[in-house]
Amino acid sequence: MDNPLLDFAELPRFAEVRPDHITPAVDQVLATARATVQAITADNVPATWDAVLAPLADVTEKISWVWDPVSHLNAVVNTPALREAYNSNLAKISEFYTELGQNLALFAKVKALAASADYASLSPARRQIIDHQLRDFRLSGAELPDAEKARFADIQARLSELSARFSQNVLDATDGFARYIDDAAELDGLPDDVLEMMRAAAEADGKPGYKLKLHFPFYFPVMQYANHRALRESMYHANATRAAEFGPAELDNTLLIGETLSLRDEEARLLGFANYAEVSLAPKMADNPSQVIAFLRDMAARAKPFAQRDRAELEAFARNELGLNDLQAWDLAWVSEKLRVARYDFSEQEVKAYFAEQRVLDGLFAIISKLFDVDIHPLAATLWHPDARFWEVRRNGQVVAQFYTDLYAREGKRGGAWMADIRARRLLADGRLQIPVALLTCNFTAPVGDKPALFTHDEVITLFHEFGHGLHHMLTEVDELGVSGINGVEWDAVELPSQFMENFCWEWDVLSHMTAHVDSGEPLPRALFDKMLAAKNFQSGMMAVRQVELALFDMLLHAELDAKGEFMALLDAVRAEVAVNPTPAYNRLPHSFSHIFAGGYAAGYYSYKWAEVLSADAYAAFEETGHANPAVGEAFRREVLAVGGSRPAIESFRAFRGRDPQIDALLRHTGLVASEDATT
């Protein structure tokens, strides 16, 4: 077809998509969808699944088949032309879904179906979809008066614009920073592979010396290893002030944050909620903001004594061993690494040499095969960048899913790591099964020269985490689009499979098979692994209160802050309550907090800690019966992964574990217990 975005016969033809393809494709699928909605809401159309919801699923899926590849390309190979096309069509997509959510005729059809005799005979998955749709209609303003509906629609359109602008400002502020250094002495302490990466980046710009950037593979090694304190401070300042008032005015997210919070508050009040946090929690596991706030403050109370101990140890080491009497934010990673080396006699660089990319992937795929009885194989496909790869998942010889990987950081690629779906499992009208397809994106250090890409152990954990999301999507056995895979899963439960998979990165039987020294080929020595395990909960108290700080700020921001309130003052108050590491006054964390302003986690960041309780308790089932036990893996696949969003997440957890979740395993796994022998 002339327009690759409208070719629905195959997987997306990513490499062929041009910015000028986007508007015609979006206009066509939206026009078709609007015509379909008009047809299925006619008075003479019966309120049945086949007459209403099946065709609705078909046409909205086609919108996703156009828009999801566009969104992905905008995130991973961003260009000015692509961005312009994306932004100009984003409002159209938002407008359509706002219209759909407020369509009273469609709402009436779904209510009629829910009240009909046919409802009881539908499958549990279809009943769940109907229940979700009734809830979502109400959350979309379907029951508002016409004047308020129009205002609600305007709010949704503007919030979509603000989200896109926020993300683009962070990307541009990150990409826009560059510092060139000629004197290698200023980079003393940095590992050779990092120096080579920086030298290659400078050379690519036609510059001598070394190029420093704010992308994580460049930034974090400076903070962790650079002995030049002024360099660390300057890089910290540049990173902490991204997209804020200290840089170009056009990239300042301050006003965007204020407008976003004001519009979210207005949206909540239009819908009859007291605040936006209540709106956010309506489709989640948590009952109300007070429950979440109490959970977070309980976590803070449990973790803060350990965090204070971590801080005191760090200060003492900095003072006594490094002659540093005023430990600052830009010193934390550097001093922590030196303390880690001194205490456990190994460095992250030493460990990193054993984790070459292909070896890690082979090890990941091996544990997946053992636990869930699937095999993973590479395939050729049309890709968006040479870094990307394509794979298929087979179970009992049958292809059950496919996925893409894109693992390296680069210019024009949004930071962070995430999983997205490009196709969802469903049974088609002609009886064919459509298999799920996932996108797994990370920002690891790319290979330099003839060496393979080497991952830190933290990056290995990140890879396992994102693949856990992918498994949730790909190993579903639900055939209904709205609740297959990750679709329909409560937002505060989606992190269960991802955080669950992280645990296997600490299993010797798993790790020993995914390592080979980049030079010698020797596997990771058991003695080094034992040191890593001993250091597993190093500064776990500080890490726990940091996550609580972010989550509590997010929840209070959307539950208690007045629409005209000062969000930085709120953050300062939260830090005073739970944090142990002082933050410079110029730090503008909210301005790059994309999770809550551009990533769907608004009043939902707590879900990381919430799901940690679930995932640690789920993994404890393996500990109780033997690590990496295939029988337990099969139960987890059957009761959690396979059912997707077809039933409430708490029911899936109970089906797997036989009881409600308990916090004990999380506290034990993270060392937040008094007994020293329980920290491993």
Place of tokens 């369509």: 103
CB 433 within 8 A of CB 427: yes
Q: What integer is the mean pLDDT of 320-345?
A: 97
- Distance separating alpha carbons of residues 318 and 525, to the nearest angstrom: 30
- Residue 178 gets the label, from left (phi > 0), alpha (psi -120 to 50) or beta, of beta
Residue 179 β-bridge partners: 212
Cα dihedral: 291, 297, 301, 304 (round 10):
140
Residues 79 and 200 in one domain: no
- What's the rounded mean pLDDT across residues 527-555? 97
* Confidence tier at 679 by pLDDT (50, 70, 90): very low
Within this chain, do residues 139 and 231 fall inside the same structural domain, yes or no?
no
Q: What is the pLDDT of residues 645-670, one digit of tens each?
A: 999 999 999 999 999 999 999 999 99
Band (pLDDT 50/70/90 cuts) for residue 10 is confident
Pairing label, strands 426-427, 398-408: unpaired
- At 196 the pLDDT is 96
Q: Helix, strand or coil for residue 408?
A: strand
**CATH number assigned to the domain comprising residue 126:** 1.20.1050.40
With helix as H, strand as E and coil as C, how does 412-460 read? CCCCCCEEEEEECCEECCCCCEECCEEEEEEEECCCCCCCCCECCHHHH
Residue pLDDT, tens place only, 236-264 = 999 999 999 999 999 999 999 999 999 99
522 is a catalytic site residue: no
Q: Is residue 151's pLDDT more than 70? A: yes
Together in a domain, 9 and 124: yes
Last residue of a domain, one of 99, 119, 143: 143
Q: Are 92 and 26 in contact (CB under 8 A)?
A: yes
pLDDT score, position 563: 54
Residues 35 and 133 in one domain: yes
Interatomic CA distance for residues 55 and 224, integer angstroms: 54
For residues 316 and 205, state if they share a domain: no
- pTM above threshold 0.85: yes
Domain annotation covers residue 532:
no
7: left (phi over 0), alpha (psi -120 to 50) or beta: beta
Q: Say what percent of the chain tops pLDDT 70.
A: 98
What pLDDT does residue 675 have? Answer: 53
At residue 680, the pLDDT reads 28
pLDDT at 561: 83
CB contact at 8 A, 153 and 506: no
| Nearest alpha carbon to residue 504 among 471, 527, 476 | 471
Q: Which of 100, 117, 143 is where one domain is finished? A: 143
Distance of alpha carbon 191 from alpha carbon 599, whole angstroms: 33
At residue 148 the predicted structure's pLDDT band, cuts being 50, 70 and 90, is very high
Measured CA to CA, the distance from residue 505 to residue 501 in angstroms comes to 8
Contacts 24+ apart (CB under 8 A), 58-65: 59/29, 59/32, 59/33, 60/33, 60/100, 61/424, 61/426, 61/481, 62/8, 62/29, 62/32, 62/33, 63/29, 63/30, 63/33, 63/93, 63/96, 65/5, 65/8, 65/12, 65/29, 65/423
The Cα 127–Cα 133 span in angstroms is 10
pLDDT at 413: 96
Which residue from 33, 103, 95, 20 is spatially nearest to 62, judged by alpha carbons? 33
Q: What phi and psi, each to the nearest 5 degrees, are found at residue 437?
A: -135, 130
Question: What is the tens place of the pLDDT at every residue in 162-205?
Answer: 999 999 999 999 999 999 999 999 999 999 999 999 999 999 99
369-380 average pLDDT score: 97
d(CA 140, CA 152): 8
Helix (H, G, I), strand (E, B) or coil at 608: helix
Question: How many residues does the structure list for the chain?
Answer: 680
Output the six-digit token pair for 119: 């409802």
In a domain, 211, yes or no: yes
CA angle 425, 430, 431 (to 5 degrees): 55
Alpha-carbon distance of 77 to 74, in angstroms, equals 6
In the predicted model, what is the mean pLDDT of residues 124-141? 96
Q: What is the pLDDT of residues 354-369, one digit of tens each?
A: 999 999 999 999 999 9
286 domain residue, yes or no = yes
Is residue 429 a part of any domain in this protein? no
User: What is the SS3 assignment for 80?
Assistant: helix
The separation between CA 553 and the C-alpha centre of its own chain, rounded to angstroms, equals 18
The interaxial angle of helices 216-225 and 192-204, nearest 10 deg, is 140
Q: In this structure, what are the phi and psi dihedrals at residue 396, rounded to the nearest 5 degrees?
A: 55, 40
Cα 137 from chain centroid (whole Å): 26
User: What is the average per-residue pLDDT within 511-536?
Assistant: 95
Residues 261 and 325 in one domain: yes
Question: What is the arithmetic mean of pLDDT over 508-527?
Answer: 94
In a domain, 338, yes or no: yes
CATH number, domain with residue 323: 1.10.1370.10
Q: Which of 99, 392, 459, 466 does the annotation list as catalytic?
A: 466
Rg over alpha carbons for the chain, rounded to the nearest Å, is: 25
Q: What does pLDDT average to over the chain? A: 95
- Per the DSSP assignment, residues forming a β-bridge with 279 are none
Q: How far apart are CA 511 and CA 499, in angstroms?
A: 17
Q: Are residues 41 and 120 in the same domain?
A: yes
- Provide the token pair at 583: 């933050």
Which domain-ending residue is among 605, 621, 656? 605
CA-CA distance, 202 to 176, in Å (whole number)?
14
The neighbour count for residue 121, using CB atoms within 10 Å, is 10
HSE (CB half, 13 Å, CA atoms) of 676?
2
Parallel, antiparallel or unpaired: strands 210-212 and 179-181: antiparallel
Indicate the pLDDT class of residue 676, thresholds 50, 70 and 90: very low
Question: What mean pLDDT do residues 37-52 have?
Answer: 98
| Pair (219, 258) in one structural domain | no
How many domains does the chain contain in total? 3
Predicted pLDDT of residue 677:
39
Residue 32 lies in a domain: yes
Interacting residues of 536 by C-beta distance below 8 A, sequence separation 6+ = 506, 671, 679, 680
Give the C-alpha separation, 632 to 624, whole Å: 10
Q: Is the pLDDT of residue 129 over 60?
A: yes
Give the Cα separation of 271 and 174 in Å (integer).
37
Query: Residues 641, 476: contact at Cβ < 8 Å?
Result: yes
- Structural domain boundaries enclosing 37: 4-143
pLDDT tens string 578-633: 999 999 999 999 999 999 999 899 999 999 999 999 999 999 999 998 778 899 99
Task: Please tell me whether residues 237 and 258 are part of one structural domain.
Answer: no
Say yes or no: 262 and 223 in one domain: no
Beta bridge partners of 405: 389, 440
Q: Is residue 396 part of a domain?
A: no
Same domain as 127, residue 92: yes
- Look at residue 104 and tell me if it is in a domain: yes
**30: nearest Cα among 53, 64, 54:** 64
Residues 46 and 133 occupy one common structural domain: yes
Task: Please say if the pLDDT value at position 565 is more than 90.
Answer: no
